[in-house]
Amino acid sequence: MSTAPLPATAVIREVGLRDGLQSIQTVLPTERKREWIRDAFAAGQREIEVGSFVPARLLPQLADTADVLAFAKTLPGLKVSVLVPNLRGALHALQAGADLMILPLSASHAHSLANLRKTPDEVVQEMRKIRAARDAAGSQTLIEGGVGTAFGCTLQGEVSHDEVLRLMQALLDAGADRVSLADTVGYADPASVSRLFERALRIAGDRFCCGHFHDTRGLALANVYAALQLGVSRFDASLAGIGGCPHAPGASGNAATEDLAFMLQSCGVRTGVDIEALLALRHRVAAWLEGEATHGALWRAGLPRTFNMATTA
């Protein structure tokens, strides 16, 4: 079997400030978040998810999302995204002028009811309202529908690919500009990624925008590579792999940004990221989060002598 060439470039969307921080106890001060964003931008990252418009009592870690977003918007060329659980959150995102808002939908009915207190189809209705609000406001904010628990879930177990794809299509029909798939709990493997993403790409075409893999069982980078082989060229990642899984104590978070950048650039896929600068930032973020688990491999060993930053960044 032959495979298509890998994409020439890929985007690493930093989600550590949202997916990472929401899953750990430490509340990072706003000033530290600004420093993280500023230095990630300086290291070449151009897409950052800065927080989530959820009530502060639910996620005190992300209570300063509006302030953090306002700062991020001052960096020229940075695409600032934010998670919105519902229409109310979307109205905040529109008001704040986010470049992108992501509405998460859990394809597992059990997970959806437990976490969002809505069925997946009720979330599709929310997408419809969000699209109407965006259009009424004449806003440029893009809307992404993120289908989570796409490879299974700790509550329900199996989630069928047919159901995942039905809901992805429903989100597009309800007005999502683009869609993405997330392995929320680290159940995916490269073969299942190939099977599901291949079908997703056939449905959504270039409106399929991103793969989101948790490294709960150590397969996040392998899963990225499987998606990369199909031409997917945007991936979520979290600096130092921070985050976790509420259902698996001690589990790691998303793919580590620095390891992902290293893998992509080693494969000749340009990311625009300066890995040395990213490692320096990782060092500081890990110190700010002292006592929290951090993950990843590159920071322990450093870049290999054979790695040529100049030709791969």
Cβ-proximal residue to Zn ion, closest one: 19
CB nearer Zn ion, residue 49 or residue 99: 49
Site mask for Zn ion (CB under 5 A), range 108-147, x = bound = ----------------------------------------
Does residue 14 bind Zn ion (CB under 5 A)? no
Distance CA 258, CA 275 (A): 7
DSSP assigned state of 22: G
Alpha helices in the chain, H assignment, sequence order: 30-42, 65-72, 87-96, 109-116, 120-137, 161-173, 190-204, 220-228, 257-266, 275-288, 298-301, 309-312
CB nearer Zn ion, residue 19 or residue 126: 19
Identify which range of 11-19, 167-175, 270-278, 286-294 contacts Zn ion by CB under 5 A. 11-19
Distance CA 32, CA 61 (A): 12
Q: In the annotation, is 210 catalytic? A: no
Helix axes 161-173, 190-204, angle to 10 degrees: 30
CB nearer Zn ion, residue 19 or residue 259: 19
Report, in Å, the least distance between residue 132 CB and Zn ion. 27
Which of 10, 11, 19, 102 touches Zn ion by CB under 5 A?
19
Identify which range of 12-20, 161-169, 261-269, 274-282 contacts Zn ion by CB under 5 A. 12-20
Our measurement of the distance from residue 7's CA atom to the centroid of its chain's CA atoms, rounded to an integer in Å, reads: 19
Phi, psi of 142 (to 5 degrees): -75, 155
Q: Which residues carry out catalysis?
A: 245
Q: Residues interacting with Zn ion, by CB under 5 A?
A: 19
